[in-house]
Structure formats: C-alpha cells, structure tokens
Copies of this chain bind each other. A is one copy, B any other.
C-alpha cells in the first residue's frame, strides 16, 4: 500500500516512523517546494514521486493548491478549519461552547469588539497562525487590525486541556483521555496525559470532538484545544490532524495517534479500544540535540531539524 502526506514536517515524518511496520510505503510532499520525501527522511528524494497513491492525507490544514487536491481526503474540513472565521461560525452553528468572538477586518478598529466582549481581547489572524504567531493582545482602545482577523474575549481559564480522537470511514470514533497542556509564549511546552481529574471532562470533550468529526464526516485523527473554566469547557481551536498534545501516545498508549490516523485514512481497521498509561510529554524547543537527555527515563523523539529559537525540534515522553 502506498500513501502520501502533504507537508514535509515532523508530523508526517512521525507517520513515516509507523508506516514501515504496517507494510505501508509512505511518501511526503512539500506543497511549497514541490519536493517528495520518503518515510522519515528530512532530505528530499527529488521533485518527482510515485503517482499511484492509494490515498492522500495532510499534516496541516492550510495548503496551497496541489496536484493532489482532487483526491485529498478531508479537503473541505481543511478549507473550513484553516480560516478562523468559518471555524468559529461552525462552533456557533453546532451550538458548541467557544470563547465569545467577533470578526475584525483589515483596517478595522477593535474598539467596538472590546466594548462588547470585555476588558481584554485576543486578536488572531484568520489564516496561518500557529505557536501563538499572528496574535495580538488588546486591552486598550485604539487597536487597528492589520490583517483579516477574529477577536476573542480573553478567557480567564483555570487550565488548558485538549482531546485527540479518531473517526473511521464507517463513523466509528475512539478517544484518548483529556490531557492538560502547558503553554509558554503561545507554544505548547508540556502535556500531561491523562489530565488530573480528566474524568470530569471526558464525556463533554468527547461530545464536542465527536460532534465536529461527525458533522464534517471527517476521517482520521482530530484534536480540539479547550479552555477549562472550572464550570465549563470552551473550545479554543480545532486541528484536523495529528496534534502535538497527542505525541505522548507514541509511548503511553496501545496505539499512537500517528498510527490511528494512517489506519483511518488508509481504510484499515481501527483498534477495538484505546488504552494508556500516565505519560508526560515535554517539548524540545529551539535547542540542540543533547544525548544527556537519554540519562533520564524518558523516550527521546528528535525530529532531525535544525534548531532555531522557538522552533519545535523534538519531544520527550516519560511514563509516570
């Protein structure tokens, strides 16, 4: 079986790690440079690849046009989610709880939205943001948007959590436990799986993610980031792909998210059930490879990328 992942980053490479032992020949395609990569390799094989893929998926939702769009699974979901405006509208349409929000066009003042939503706003570019990039905190009148954005009420959450799950082509869904995520400067630095008191929110988080996957008829792994407000969960954003807060599953679960995604998009059976052991994931951000990390008890996952400040270059999973 031959599959393709659009995108040439670590998420696809980690699918490549799993592919071999499932008998899947996995290629990756960079839609920006038009180069093909094989398996986990970070050096391109060239600018031609096989043409007879059995299926095509992606590791990110914002994609330029590619030669594979005609057969790309979940394309409509990518197009919807890659723009925060229709994404937020979807939550409202489905009656799912999310941080209160409004639209903010290029050149528009945030004053009215600030007055309406509270004392602090988080303004986010509609497209292209990740790791907290493309965001502005607004607490004073006078802010004028320099991009097409949405503005959200700043939520005084008690913590951030997320849920990762999978939906098969037959509509069957499986979920990992709710996990707790710690961010620094907008970047995920640590995930605790399960989150302390995960049980409190498991059903509600599954309801939210399950509703989204079913409505979109999505096939594969999806994640939802949530603000835990003590008495309620609010959706922050969704990611129609494997997600950093699911990386712990490589070492802490019977089947990891990368394998689940491959199995779903390839039309292979999903497992009967997911099981797991308590695991902590620590991101490696902007640092050089240091083999002293191995002296602990964690499992080091190095992405073979050049370290740059703020760049995710690996993670360590530790069974607790």
Chain A positions near chain B (C-beta within 8 angstroms): 13, 17, 20-23, 39-40, 251, 254-255, 259, 263, 268-273, 275, 277, 289, 291-292, 294-304, 314, 318-319
Cβ of A21 and Cβ of B295 under 8 Å apart?
A: no
Cβ of B40 and Cβ of A289 under 8 Å apart?
A: no
- Closest CB in chain B relative to A219 CB, distance in Å: 16
Assembly CA distance A251 to B259 (angstroms): 13
- Given the known inter-chain contacts A17-B20, A23-B302, A254-B251, please indicate yes or no for A297 contacting B319, CB distance below 8 A: no
- Closest CB in chain B relative to A96 CB, distance in Å: 31
Which of chain B's residues have a CB closer than 8 A to the CB of A292?
A: 269
- Given the known inter-chain contacts A23-B304, A39-B40, A254-B251, please indicate yes or no for A295 contacting B272, CB distance below 8 A: yes
Which of chain B's residues have a CB closer than 8 A to the CB of A314?
A: 21
Which of chain B's residues have a CB closer than 8 A to the CB of A39?
A: 39-40
Which of chain B's residues have a CB closer than 8 A to the CB of A269?
A: 291-292, 294-295
Cβ of B272 and Cβ of A297 under 8 Å apart?
A: yes
Cβ of B304 and Cβ of A20 under 8 Å apart?
A: yes
14 contacts between A and B (CB under 8 A): A17-B20, A20-B304, A23-B289, A23-B304, A254-B299, A254-B318, A254-B319, A263-B294, A269-B291, A269-B295, A270-B294, A272-B295, A272-B296, A277-B277
Number of copies: 2
Cβ of B40 and Cβ of A302 under 8 Å apart?
A: no
- Given the known inter-chain contacts A39-B40, A251-B254, A269-B291, please indicate yes or no for A22 contacting B296, CB distance below 8 A: no
Which of chain B's residues have a CB closer than 8 A to the CB of A277?
A: 277
Cβ of A254 and Cβ of B21 under 8 Å apart?
A: no
Assembly CA distance A300 to B20 (angstroms): 10
Cβ of A294 and Cβ of B273 under 8 Å apart?
A: no
User: With contacts A17-B17, A254-B319 known, what are 5 further pairs, Cβ within 8 A?
Assistant: A20-B40, A39-B39, A263-B294, A269-B292, A272-B297
Q: Which single residue of chain B is at the shortest CB-CB distance from A276? A: B319
- Closest CB in chain B relative to A249 CB, distance in Å: 12
Which of chain B's residues have a CB closer than 8 A to the CB of A254?
A: 251, 297-299, 318-319
- Closest CB in chain B relative to A171 CB, distance in Å: 16
Assembly CA distance A304 to B289 (angstroms): 31
Which of chain B's residues have a CB closer than 8 A to the CB of A275?
A: 297, 319
Which of chain B's residues have a CB closer than 8 A to the CB of A298?
A: 254
Closest 4 CB pairs of A and B: A269-B295, A269-B294, A20-B40, A21-B301
Cβ of A297 and Cβ of B271 under 8 Å apart?
A: yes
Cβ of B271 and Cβ of A296 under 8 Å apart?
A: yes
Assembly CA distance A40 to B24 (angstroms): 12
Assembly CA distance A272 to B302 (angstroms): 19
- Closest CB in chain B relative to A300 CB, distance in Å: 6
Q: Count chain B CB atoms within 10 A of each CB in A13, A22, A301 and give the residue with the most.
A: A22
Q: Which single residue of chain B is at the shortest CB-CB distance from A294? A: B269
